[in-house]
Amino acid sequence: MRIHALPIQLVNQIAAGEVVERPSSVVKELVENCFDAGAEQITIEIEMGGTRLIKIRDDGCGIVKDDLALALSRHATSKIASLQDLEQVSSMGFRGEALPSISSVARLTLISRTTESKCAWRVTADGSEQNFDPQPDPHPQGTTVDVRDLFYNTPARRKFLKAEKTEFAHIETLIKRMALSQFAIGFSLSHNQKEILNLKPAMTEVSQEQRVASICGPAFIENSVKIDFAASGLQLSGWVGLPTFSRSQQDMQFFYVNGRLIRDKLVAHAIKQAYQDVLYHGRHSVFVLYLTLDPTLVDVNAHPAKLEVRFREGRLVHDFLFSALHRSLADLRPKSATSVVNWVNESVADATEVDFVATPTMTKLFDIKPSYHAEPTQQTSLPLAIAESINAYASLSPYAIAEQKPGLPVSQEQNIPPLGYAIAHIHNIYILAETPKGVILVDAHAAHERVTYERLKRQYQQGSVPSQPLLLPIKIVVSATEADLAEQEYEYFSKLGFELNRSGPETIILRSTPALLGNIDKELLIRDVLADINEHGMSQRIQEQSNRLLATIACHGSVRAKRRLSIEEMNALLRDMEQTERIGQCNHGRPTWIELSTQELDKFFLRGQ
């Protein structure tokens, strides 16, 4: 066949294949136009999941009569005029494809009125971009787009739509996500004449948190940290969920770039890295984050539906996001006795549940499971880092003093540290400590694992992990492959604090270990580290897995469950916890401590009721 030009309506229908996937796609394009029009209130009416009716009204600037026909034509827009404008797009929509594409697969009516106009004007369109005849209409200032019978002329596309309930669920989710990006705009959503959402403009920080809570749930705000970082022309603000408040799926992750909701692999990787050693395995973090940067540094024209972006300086953005989030999570630690971090109540949950929910009930409280690692029942002595601190801290405990001098008051609030003082070791697993505001429960192994891990990381980064020679070298029989690894990575083991020499085809000799570890099963530890190296590759890969290996070492070197601790040892661990970053979780993401206030204890026993 000879080459020929396609009819305009067919061209628009082809374009609709990229832009209009389902009813929610139509809603997205039209609501973004409302944003660009400066709307303060947007009303969305849906019928039959959007297949019968999608009606969106705003109170924005409107469209002048003479531009209505152009608005329904392909590649006609008020957002850009030159290539320079395209390279610094700050508006939501800019291609000029949405309205003509939608009109080619639905019955579309456009009504609009500007401030200067004496009345509104109405036009209908069928995607042919012809026979526009504006008619007067009593519409108030702003614009209404009425879309009926979606895919009426493309039945094959209509067959791909899901049930009415499913299609509306997509629309509701979309509106909630868009409402999180524009706090200054009010949103109203109804389905089959029933109001589903009614969000008022949120101009204050309190009202913004209320909107986030109404969309993500009150537990999200209660278990999140407000952040605001700026550096190198980048600004990151919003809320990040605590590591102990996580999801089984990635359904509560909202990331906006200059107000545009996006999905980006670079962003996802940076956030995942920030949570890498504080999130429980198999769980996903929750967040509502806003990245603001110069529009010239991000290309929003990388995807037909504008769901993906391309950063011109990807490494800078990645490092900025990682640093901001990593720092925020690291700063979560006990602050003072009078304002103990409330989120520890929310960290109690069973990992088999869908979400980590904030419910300080007795059932949840004592449902915390000990570490899932197989652990021996005894440990001969505490690692050096804790043992050396015992004498220094023991003398500070008012409880220890009270035991020596019964006439002395047990406690004075102004002298009590954030995690209080230990009073018991429950089941040889949990430390029970008392504070002026209530009680603290600590998983001794999980907490000490985090303390040891953070110290090892710090020492490793400084290139000075203290090493302690063994009185008697340990001979370890391994496979030839593992012996080769030990020999090839001698310098790397040395940097970790091990002196490991090969003495035969399948034999290695361990002569020294990191001083932090104390008495542990050293042979088992070496086998585990060699297994990690063997799984994750050789030299260049090992550097990327250093934290994983340090976590393995820390787990082996931590105080074990069932190992009875003295009051002095428990207090020494509590003091170390107060100085340790990311102490809220162990290396595997399990909570390390929780708090019960006196008010919550009173509720358990119905005191004062």
pLDDT in tens, 68-89: 888 888 777 777 667 776 777 7
**Per-residue model confidence (pLDDT) at position 43:** 97
Query: Any idea which of 158-172, 176-190, 359-373, 384-398 has the lowest mean pLDDT?
Result: 359-373
pLDDT at 338 over 70: no
Which pLDDT score is estimated for 372?
30
Q: Look at residues 199, 234, 257 and tell me which one is the last residue of a structural domain.
A: 199
169, 223: one domain: no
Three-state SS for 431? strand
- CB of 445 closer than 8 Å to CB of 370: yes
pLDDT for res 78: 75
Q: Does residue 336 lie in a domain region?
A: no
Total domain count, the chain: 4
The mean per-residue pLDDT over the stretch 429-454 comes to 88
Residues 182, 100 share a domain: yes
Each residue's pLDDT tens digit, 104-124: 889 999 999 999 999 999 999
- CATH code, domain carrying 393: 3.30.1540.20
- For residue 374, give its domain range: 342-444+562-604
The reported pLDDT for the residue numbered 607 is 84
Q: At a CB cut-off of 8 Å and minimum separation 6, what does 428 contact?
A: 561, 562, 563, 564, 565
389 and 520, same domain (yes or no): no
Q: How confident is the model at residue 304 (pLDDT cuts 50, 70, 90)?
A: low
Whether 357 has a pLDDT exceeding 60, the answer reads no
pLDDT of residue 519: 67
Which of 154, 173, 199 is the C-terminal boundary of a domain? 199
Across all residues in the chain, what is the average pLDDT? 79
194 and 80 in contact (C-beta within 8 Å)? Answer: no
C-alpha span between 560 and 564 (Å, rounded):
9
Tens-place pLDDT, residues 324-337 = 998 888 777 665 43
Q: Is the pLDDT of residue 176 over 80?
A: yes
pLDDT for 202 equals 94
Asked whether residue 156 falls in the same domain as residue 15, the answer is yes
pTM above 0.85?
A: no
Q: Please indicate, yes or no, whether residues 100 and 13 belong to a single structural domain of this protein.
A: yes
Query: What does the pLDDT average to over 367-392?
Result: 38
pLDDT in tens, 35-75: 989 999 999 999 999 999 999 999 999 999 988 888 888 77
For residues 375 and 390, membership in a common domain is answered with yes
Looking up tokens 């600037």 gives: 61
Phi, psi angles (nearest 5°) of residue 550: -65, -35
CATH number at residue 29: 3.30.565.10
Residue 12 pLDDT > 80: no
User: Where do the DSSP E strands lie in 101-141?
Assistant: 107-113, 120-125, 135-137
CB 96 within 8 A of CB 15: no
Residues 423 and 403 in one domain: yes
Using pLDDT thresholds of 50, 70 and 90, give the confidence band for residue 127: low
> What's residue 452's pLDDT?
84
What strands, in cross-sheet order, belong to the sheet with 260-261? Answer: 224-231, 234-241, 287-292, 253-257, 260-261
Distance of CA 281 to the CA centre of its chain: 14
Q: What is the pLDDT of residue 346?
A: 34
Query: Is residue 293 domain-shared with residue 410, that is, in the same domain?
Result: no
Q: Does residue 206 lie in a domain region?
A: no
pLDDT recorded at residue 280 = 73
pLDDT at 414 over 70: no
Q: Assess whether 75 and 104 both reside in one domain.
A: yes
Sequence-separated contacts (24+) of 127-131 with Cβ below 8 Å: 127/8, 127/9, 127/12, 127/13, 127/100, 127/101, 127/103, 128/7, 128/8, 128/9, 129/8, 129/9, 129/12, 129/69, 129/72, 129/73, 129/74, 129/100, 130/8
Q: Which residues pair with 145 in a beta bridge?
A: 56, 110
69 and 160 in a single domain? The answer is yes
Question: By three-state DSSP, how is residue 204 classified?
Answer: coil
54 is a domain residue: yes
* 250 in the same domain as 155: no
CATH number at residue 235: 3.30.230.10
